[in-house]
């Protein structure tokens, strides 16, 4: 669900479980979506992206699903590992007819993986 | 390849003082971004450069924030005078081309600013 300020959504899983992190985006004109992972004291790190003309894309242990009808994005992590513990952000890109898109980040979800 | 470099990593100043952050993007990346990340929130774009020109500064508080990217490589972000609400992590990112074309943005480690 939505949270404000310091109350980020949290997800706790056991090592080896599958994780699903959800994100609602706001702009129906957004044409490109990215998931980022951010560990403490580091900048966001690219995980996977998807264009608006797709509804699913798979990477190594990760899958992104896009539902444009309800403006929903999800990140699935298979066989979650302790090293996956971090804050996960979705970001939407809106080109607005220009070559220079603008990324708008969601608030983030804290994923904690227990050994 | 070397990543995006930022300095300093931490900075503590008093309100009304000025501060500057430096960013060196990945070699060859034409586009450079500065983001502000307040604790518990996602990064918010402040300004985007394409080479040494500004393509988006709509969310930059121009009365106190300024940024430049001379020669289209390194960039500096300045705050003068700082306010308490400027306490945040300032992230620099770079990409091969404009973000709308799907080129991945690479982020630096950020500068954590505390204004007291």
Which chain A residues are within 8 Å of B102, Cβ to Cβ? 32, 49, 51, 93
Q: Going by C-beta distance under 8 Å and a sequence separation of 6 or more, which residues neighbour residue A45?
A: A36, A37, A38, A39, B107
What band does A98 get if pLDDT is binned at 50, 70 and 90? low
Tens of pLDDT along B62-91?
999 999 998 889 999 999 999 999 999 999
Answer whether residue A1 shows pLDDT above 70: no
In order of A59, B1, B40, B114, the CA distances from B23 in angstroms are: 30, 16, 23, 18
Which chain A residue has the Cα nearest residue B91? A43
Answer whether residue B100 shows pLDDT above 70: no
CA distance A86 to A65: 20
Test B45 with A44 for CB contact under 8 angstroms: no
Tell me the average pLDDT of chain B: 92
Tens of pLDDT along A54-94?
999 999 999 999 999 999 999 999 999 999 999 999 999 87
CA distance A28 to A25: 8
CA A115 to chain B, closest CA, distance in angstroms equals 25
Of B80, B25, B77, B18, residue with least CA distance to B46: B77
Q: Going by C-beta distance under 8 Å and a sequence separation of 6 or more, which residues neighbour residue B12?
A: B113, B114, B115, B116
Test B41 with A108 for CB contact under 8 angstroms: yes
User: What single string gives the DSSP state of each residue in B86-104?
Assistant: G-EEEEEEEESS-GGGTPP
Residues of chain A contacting B, Cβ within 8 Å: 5-8, 31-32, 34, 41-46, 49, 51, 89, 91, 93-95, 98-108
Which of A60-74, A98-112, B92-106 has the weakest average pLDDT? B92-106
What band does B33 get if pLDDT is binned at 50, 70 and 90? very high
Predicted pLDDT of residue B1: 61
CA angle A44, A50, A51 (to 5 degrees): 125
Please state whether beta strands B31-37 and B44-50 pair in parallel, antiparallel, or not at all (unpaired): antiparallel
Predicted pLDDT of residue B2: 81
* Whether the bond into B8 is cis, omega within 30 of 0: yes
Phi, psi of A82 (to 5 degrees): -55, -30
For chain B, how many residues are written? 116
Report the residue from A49, A99, A108 with minimal CB separation from B100. Answer: A99
Which chain B residue has the Cα nearest residue A108? B42
CA B26 to chain A, closest CA, distance in angstroms equals 14
Asked if B7 and B22 touch (Cβ cutoff 8 Å), the reply is yes
Q: What percent of chain B is modeled with pLDDT above 70?
A: 93
Test B91 with A43 for CB contact under 8 angstroms: yes
For chain A, how many residues are written? 115
Tens of pLDDT along A14-55?
999 999 999 999 888 888 899 999 999 999 999 999 999 999
Residue carrying structure tokens 């309800």: A70
CA A1 to chain B, closest CA, distance in angstroms equals 15
């Amino acid at each position: 669900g939505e949270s404000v300020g310091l109350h980020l959504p949290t997800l706790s899983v056991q090592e080896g479980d599958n994780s699903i992190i959800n994100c609602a985006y706001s702009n129906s004109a957004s044409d490109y979506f990215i998931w980022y992972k951010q560990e403490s004291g580091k900048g966001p790190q690219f995980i996977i992206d998807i264009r608006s003309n797709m509804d699913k894309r798979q990477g190594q242990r990760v899958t992104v699903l896009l539902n444009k009808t309800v403006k929903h994005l999800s990140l699935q992590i298979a066989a979650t590992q302790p090293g996956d513990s971090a804050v996960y952000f979705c970001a939407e890109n809106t080109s607005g007819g220009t070559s220079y898109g603008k990324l708008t980040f969601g608030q983030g979800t804290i994923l904690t993986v227990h050994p | 390849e070397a990543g995006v470099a930022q300095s300093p990593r931490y900075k503590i100043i008093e309100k009304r003082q000025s501060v500057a952050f430096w960013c060196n993007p990945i070699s060859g990346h034409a586009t450079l971004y500065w983001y502000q990340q307040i604790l518990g929130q996602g990064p918010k774009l402040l300004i985007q450069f394409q080479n040494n020109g500004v393509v988006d500064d709509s969310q930059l508080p121009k009365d106190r924030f300024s940024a430049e990217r001379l020669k289209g490589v390194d960039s500096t972000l300045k705050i003068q005078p700082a306010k308490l609400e400027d306490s945040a992590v300032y992230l620099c990112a770079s990409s091969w081309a404009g973000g709308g074309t799907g080129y991945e943005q690479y982020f630096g480690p950020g500068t954590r600013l505390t204004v007291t």
